[in-house]
Amino acid sequence: WKGKIDSLNVEKGYFCDLKTTAEIDRDFYNPAIRDRELWFDHWNYGLQMAAYKKLLQDQYHKPFHVFIFAVDKKTPEPAIESFEVDYGRIEKGLKEIEAYQPLLMDVIAGKTKPIRCGKCNYCRA
């Protein structure tokens, strides 16, 4: 794993990630949970933040807080939002990483073929 942290303060134990989204106040329907969810959860940014947090904690041997600074693309004036990513989202991301890590390693090693979704740009190409 590797991560590109937008802003890091090791001394104070936090990092910030910058996000751009079409509309900050837009939510998405998730058929898996049969409910609506925020853009942050829809794009599964909790997994990314969990990976960053784990990498930093392993490297620096201390806990880190995670902050998101988001801006949307509305005109004439974009909305701006900031929030701390909660423990539940981080924990969910870590569990997802743990669940898929063995498959990912097998694909990288050539032991298993990747499972294609058929929908993303990579699969369609």
Query: Phi-psi category of 13—alpha, beta or left, where left has phi over 0 and alpha has psi -120 to 50?
Result: left
At 46 the pLDDT is: 93
| Spatial separation of the C-alpha atoms in residues 30 and 40, rounded to whole Å | 12
**pLDDT single digits (tens) 44-85:** 999 999 999 999 999 999 999 999 999 999 889 999 999 999
* Residue found under tokens 């694909």: 107
**Contact assessment for residue 18 and residue 69, using Cβ atoms and an 8 Å cutoff:** yes
**Contact assessment for residue 96 and residue 41, using Cβ atoms and an 8 Å cutoff:** no
| Spatial separation of the C-alpha atoms in residues 125 and 118, rounded to whole Å | 9
Domains, the chain, in order of start with CATH, read: 7-124 (3.90.320.10)
pLDDT > 90 in the chain, percent: 66
Confidence of residue 111 (pLDDT cuts 50, 70, 90): very high
Q: Is 68 helix (H, G, I), strand (E, B) or coil?
A: strand
At 125 the pLDDT is: 84
Q: What is the mean pLDDT of residues 20-41?
A: 89
